[in-house]
């Protein structure tokens, strides 16, 4: 790790603590974060740059990266405040509004083979093919790949998989009104929101791509997020969501829940199936 930091930013390390993600004190007194992400670092770096280009939400600055390592600005932690939550809601609305080339589009310079956490995630890169409507893209490229892997790994049985497949069949008819491709963080669970000492909420560890704006917001709700109601209310002040969004939360959570089934096992199967049943209930 010390050699990677020195090579990427040209500054020697005094001490460090952590594992794959380490807080590193440099000899000059600066603190940075070094992240070991073999095969995923390029995609994350491209995602951070693309999200930062919108000028909408705070993200850690990229100090250096290669195919395996990222060296990032360190963001000291602080309390989760109502003011930071409201600023985050407004910022997310602006971020999503910055848009994407099409659904599934990778950040500029990002690879086709990206990641969400430790799970592979396929994005689209130039030359662009015909754009798909969001529901068909979501089913084909976000839901079904993880369902197939869960079944192939023996984590989900055929009966539960059939519920998800039925949800996929009805999803195009219940996904709500058409939306323009949004610029998504892509892995916006509460653990990737850094409530910082500067009084703001920063976003970390993106799996950025073009998608549906309700997906980011549904991910925030998945495992609980401080001041979530304030975040959503501030978001809606800037860019109100389409009517019926409350009933579509499970539809958008289906993807991250299947990713959790793949990464962490059968403990998430029940939640994934419940999300699929919520889609069926919309039909």
Under 8 Å between Cβ of 165 and 84: no
* Among 28, 66, 187, 198, the one annotated catalytic: 187
Q: What is the pLDDT of residue 142?
A: 98
> How many angstroms separate the CA atoms of 233 and 193, rounded?
17
> How many angstroms separate the CA atoms of 143 and 147, rounded?
6
187 is an active site residue: yes
> How many angstroms separate the CA atoms of 47 and 27, rounded?
29
Under 8 Å between Cβ of 108 and 128: no
pLDDT digits (tens, 9 = 90+) for 151-178: 999 999 999 999 999 999 999 999 999 9
pLDDT digits (tens, 9 = 90+) for 20-43: 899 999 999 999 999 999 999 999
pLDDT digits (tens, 9 = 90+) for 42-76: 999 999 999 999 999 999 999 999 999 999 999 99
pTM, two decimals, is 0.96
Q: What is the pLDDT of residue 18?
A: 85
Mean of the pLDDT values across residues 185-214?
Answer: 98
């Amino acid at each position: 790790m010390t050699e990677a930091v020195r090579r990427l930013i040209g500054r020697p390390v005094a001490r460090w603590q952590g594992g794959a993600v380490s807080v590193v004190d440099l000899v000059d007194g600066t603190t940075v974060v070094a992240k070991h992400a073999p095969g995923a670092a390029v995609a994350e770096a491209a995602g951070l740059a693309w999200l930062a280009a919108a000028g909408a939400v705070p993200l850690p600055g990229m100090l250096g990266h290669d195919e395996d390592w990222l060296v990032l600005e360190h963001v000291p932690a602080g309390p989760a405040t109502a003011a930071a939550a409201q600023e985050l809601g407004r910022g997310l609305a602006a971020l999503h509004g910055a848009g994407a080339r099409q659904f599934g589009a990778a950040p500029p310079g990002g690879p086709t083979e990206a990641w969400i956490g430790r799970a592979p995630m396929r994005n689209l890169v130039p030359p662009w093919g015909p754009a798909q409507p969001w529901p068909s893209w979501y089913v084909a490229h976000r839901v079904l790949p993880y369902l197939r892997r869960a079944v192939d790994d023996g984590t989900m049985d055929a009966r539960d998989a059939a519920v998800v497949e039925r949800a996929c069949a009805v999803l195009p008819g219940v996904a709500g009104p058409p939306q323009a491709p949004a610029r998504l963080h892509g892995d916006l669970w509460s653990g990737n929101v850094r409530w910082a000492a500067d009084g703001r909420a920063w976003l970390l560890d993106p799996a950025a791509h073009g998608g549906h704006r309700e997906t980011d917001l549904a991910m925030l709700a998945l495992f609980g997020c401080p001041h979530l109601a304030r975040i959503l209310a501030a978001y809606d002040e800037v860019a109100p969501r389409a009517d019926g969004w409350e009933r579509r939360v499970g539809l958008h959570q289906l993807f991250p829940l299947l990713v959790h089934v793949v990464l962490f096992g059968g403990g998430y199967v029940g939640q994934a199936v419940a999300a699929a049943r919520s889609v069926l209930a919309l039909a």
